[in-house]
Amino acid sequence: MPNEDPKHAPLRVLHLEDSVQDHLLVKREFQKSGEPLEIVHVESLEDFEQALTERNFDLVLADYRLPGFTALDAWQLMNRLRVRLPFILLSGAIGETAAVQAIQAGISDYLPKEDLPKLRHVAQRAIEMHHVVLARGQADLELAQSQKQLASFAEQLQSTIEQERAAIAREIHDDIGGSLAAIRFDLAWIGRHATDDGTQAHVLAATHMLQHAVEASQRIMMNLRPAILDQGLVAAIHWLGDSFSRRTGIPTQIRAELHSESLPKAIQLTAYRTAQEALTNASKYAQCSQVKIDLSGDAHFLTLEIADNGQGLSADTPPKEGGFGLSGLKERAKTVGGWLDISSQKGLGTAITLSIPLDDDLPTTQER
């Protein structure tokens, strides 16, 4: 036989009712629609549980007061069995307090028996809302899984980026650094052996350009792989702030105090990259005259704040180049269990704050 069309599948109802007459009235009301119907009548909690475990249903109808128990007991039994179905109270007057308790417990709806002609509409609405809730729960679950996968991807991406940076830095040091050193020796030899003033002038100019190239390569290597972190996070933050001040001419106030320098390398690198990106943004966009860097940490928490007194941001400020960098820093912070806050007010500057809880059980060393 061909598969049954889901649109014409019977409505499967479990009816918990101690009155046979009331059950027949309910059955007749459903049958008025002419739609296929499968309705199972039970009167006890034991039969109710057996029906739930043996068959699938679309809807549960229950009288409120039954011999020795109430519909709330049946609802709790459903929850213990982890059966999720729309549950409608179909009862006589149960009182406002009982009705409120039922709705607060999670029961879908309440319909007095004197309003039985409304049953099909109420049942359809309860089933539709139940499907919406199930779909929303599934969507939330999928979203949580996607966020977890995104966080894992971001962590792997950051690790790959740092490995590539370290590899490039080593190549600059080994290849370009070696070549520049050889050029320095050759220029020194020419300078010692040249006798005319023209050659000496060219040697002097070339030496100045060589020194500029050496400093540029060192700066690039430091940005790619912050070897200064080998001396600790405090030293690295001071180096970043001092370098920023020398490069931009913007006074930089630095306060860096840590309870211990024995931090995992991943946390140190996250803090370093956060300060680096924040200072880069300050130099490009803030139009500030002062920057403050505050690093503090005890045995349980690390906080890094970079604040400027520049033009700040407002809600209608269009995104600028570099905004993605801050988004990347937020994802990086998540990889070490931290978070990034950006506080800004038009004309009053911007503060970027990194907060990372510290776990005493974390390893204190990690290869980069």
Written as tens digits, the pLDDT of the chain (368 aa) is: 445 555 668 999 999 999 999 999 999 999 998 889 999 999 999 999 999 999 999 999 999 989 999 999 999 999 999 999 999 998 887 777 787 888 888 888 888 888 999 999 999 999 999 899 888 888 888 888 887 787 777 767 767 777 787 778 777 877 887 888 888 888 888 888 888 888 888 888 988 898 888 878 877 777 677 777 888 899 999 999 999 999 899 999 999 989 887 888 889 989 998 999 999 889 988 889 999 999 999 888 999 999 999 988 755 554 444 444 677 788 888 888 999 999 988 888 999 999 999 875 444 333 33
- Which residues in 71-110 are b (16+ Cβ under 10 Å) and which e? bbebbebbeeeebebbbbbbbeebeeebbeebeeeebbbb
SS3 at position 293: strand
pLDDT at 49: 94
Q: Are 311 and 346 in contact (CB under 8 A)?
A: yes
pLDDT at 321: 46
Q: Are 13 and 58 in contact (CB under 8 A)?
A: yes
CA pair distance 245, 255, nearest whole angstrom: 15
Domains 6-139 and 227-368 equal at CATH topology level: no
Q: Which one-letter DSSP state was computed for residue 10?
A: P
Its CATH class, for the domain covering 227-368, is alpha beta
Nearest to 83 by CA among 42, 111, 55: 55
pLDDT at 254: 95
Beta-carbon neighbour count of residue 258 at 10 Å?
16
Q: Where are the domains of the chain?
A: 6-139, 227-368
pLDDT at 227: 76
Q: Could you tell me which residues come within 8 angstroms of residue 252 by beta carbon, excluding any fewer than 6 positions away?
A: 241, 242, 244, 245, 290, 291, 292, 293
* Helices (H), ranges, the chain: 20-31, 45-54, 71-80, 96-105, 119-171, 177-193, 197-224, 233-248, 265-281, 323-335
Helix or strand run (H / E) with residue 307:
strand 301-308
- Between strands 59-62 and 87-91, the pairing is parallel
Q: How far is CA 360 from CA 13, 160, 264, 304, 363, in A?
A: 56, 26, 10, 19, 8
CATH code, 6-139: 3.40.50.2300
Structure tokens, 149: 């996968």
The region that residue 22 occupies, defined by phi over 0 for left and psi between -120 and 50 for alpha, beta otherwise, is alpha
Q: Which one-letter DSSP state was computed for residue 358?
A: -
Question: What is the reported pTM?
Answer: 0.52
Task: Report the half-sphere exposure of 336 (CA within 13 A, side-chain side).
Answer: 30
SS3 at position 256: strand
pLDDT at 164: 80
